[in-house]
Amino acid sequence: MRDGQLIVALCPGLVDTRASRPWFTDMSQAQSPGQAAIDVVKLATGPIEPQMYGELVQHGRIIPWAEPAPAAQTA
């Protein structure tokens, strides 16, 4: 945080809307728009925990960063 400003990026994940339905065949794990809005509103209005700065956070929990799996080698 610099000069009292904190920049965050937010991706709510798959949200079940009329716009997303044509693109996905399995919406069983999708959130409703209301469910997806919960984290957005918390982030916009609530305090940000200092331990979350620079971390990947999902639903208020820090998620460990994972290295991508190495690409399969072909001969």
Distance of alpha carbon 58 from the chain centroid: 6
- Residue 36, SS3 per DSSP: helix
Stated pTM of the model: 0.61
1 versus 58: which is more confidently predicted? 58
Torsions phi, psi of 6, nearest 5?
-120, 125
- Tens-place pLDDT, residues 13-69: 899 999 999 999 999 999 999 999 998 888 888 887 888 888 888 888 888 887 777
Distance of alpha carbon 15 from the chain centroid: 11
Measured CA to CA, the distance from residue 51 to residue 62 in angstroms comes to: 9
pLDDT for 75 beyond 80: no
Amino acid at 64: P
DSSP letter at 13 equals -
